[in-house]
Amino acid sequence: MPPTPLSVLDLSPLPAGGTVGDALRNTVDLARRAEEFGYRRYWLAEHHLAPGVASAAPAVLIGQVAAATSHIRVGSGAVQLGHQTALAVAEQFGTLDALHPGRIDLGLGRSGQRRAEAKQELASDAPPPRAEARVVDGLLIPPPFSFAKLLASPRAALHSALLQQPGARSPGFAEQVGDLLALLRGDYHDADGLDAHAIPGEGADLEVWLLGSSGGESAQLAGALGLPFAANYHVSPATVLDAVEAYRAAFRPSATRAEPYVIVSADVVVAPDDATARRLAAPYGLWVRSIRSGLGAIPFPSPEQAAALPWTQEDRDLVADRIDTQFVGTPTTVAQQLRTLRDVTSADELLITTITHAHADRVGSYELLAKEWHG
């Protein structure tokens, strides 16, 4: 039996002291190398207003990566649908498919629609349920982290205002996904029966995915529509099992998929020895802290810079779930941890995201893992 496929999720991280141009050129180079190493697909994230992340326009970057490679699938992980119209996404990805037919993945997320839910959660008088860390067949499932304060913060409101036209309202996620799929199929009609056709877009040979961090709407909708689903162990490790279980429970066969198909993400740093891997991964907690404190991802520090920056127990508690579930070590060690993640989640594919300060170390991590994984 062939090994479970590995794929790449890239945020185009800026290294401290580097530039946006450096980050984007590194992405294109890493994509070429990932194709050589045997990774199945290369996904670009969508992050906005983050000082340390250059992947703000995934459709643009996907075109550059697809043009620089020959056969690896390239896609979004994920387009934040609440910030765009279904038509705009259909036209963007229809254009990509026309230029690179049969190679484009359209991953969709609902982050743009979560602020209202966060406000409701904060307004509730009920205290959040307490949970303890647990280990399921060797896989750590930490206590959940609540994003409610972050999503309901004034800075998040500013970001939302900058990402939408004044007075704009995002439709529900299911409605937008339905409109997008109809535009791609070519059978879109409004309530009055009027049709509309996305050119480019209609008939595009796209692989459409939904991405989710819980057992909520994204997982259930992906299952109901018979679409493949991506579950985030690297963003929300506490809820990854809820997500995959909800997806499989809701799954109904479709023209796209006869059976459920799940890709699960993981944060990984691989080096020739454990000490080097730990040193390369050392800045990760500071980087996550910058996100969860509401400042946005900082340029990724070097190990030397990380050692000089302040770090408290409060900081450690803020990011403990992410640090404790990052897979760091030699190729043999990390490959075994990834097999555990695969087995516990029954993943059909694994999505690897690696961030280091030096581009060469990031490329090296992906290369060492691929050689170990594929034997």
**Residue 270, both tokens:** 């691989």
Prediction pTM value? 0.95
Contact 135, 343 (CB under 8 A): no
**Residue 70, both tokens:** 């020959």
- Alpha carbons 248 and 196: distance in angstroms, whole number: 33
- Alpha carbons 39 and 35: distance in angstroms, whole number: 6
Q: Cα 243–245–251 angle (5° rounding)?
A: 100
From first to last of its 375 residues, what are the pLDDT tens digits of the chain?
789 999 999 999 999 999 999 999 999 999 999 999 999 999 999 999 999 999 999 999 999 999 999 999 999 999 999 899 999 999 999 999 999 999 999 999 997 555 555 555 545 545 555 678 999 999 999 999 988 878 877 888 888 888 888 888 889 999 999 999 999 999 999 999 999 999 999 999 999 999 999 999 999 999 999 999 999 999 999 999 999 999 999 999 999 999 999 999 999 999 999 999 999 999 999 999 999 988 889 999 999 999 998 899 999 999 999 999 999 999 999 999 999 999 999 999 999 999 999 999 999 999 999 999 998
The H or E element containing residue 223 is helix 217-225
**Residue 121, both tokens:** 């959660």
Name the burial class of residue 312, with classes exposed (0-12), middle (13-18) and buried (19+) by CB atoms within 10 angstroms of its CB. Answer: exposed
Sketch out the chain's domains with CATH numbers.
6-374 (3.20.20.30)
From the list 76, 71, 103, the residue with the least C-alpha distance to 89 is 76
* Collapsed DSSP state (helix, strand, coil) of residue 190: coil
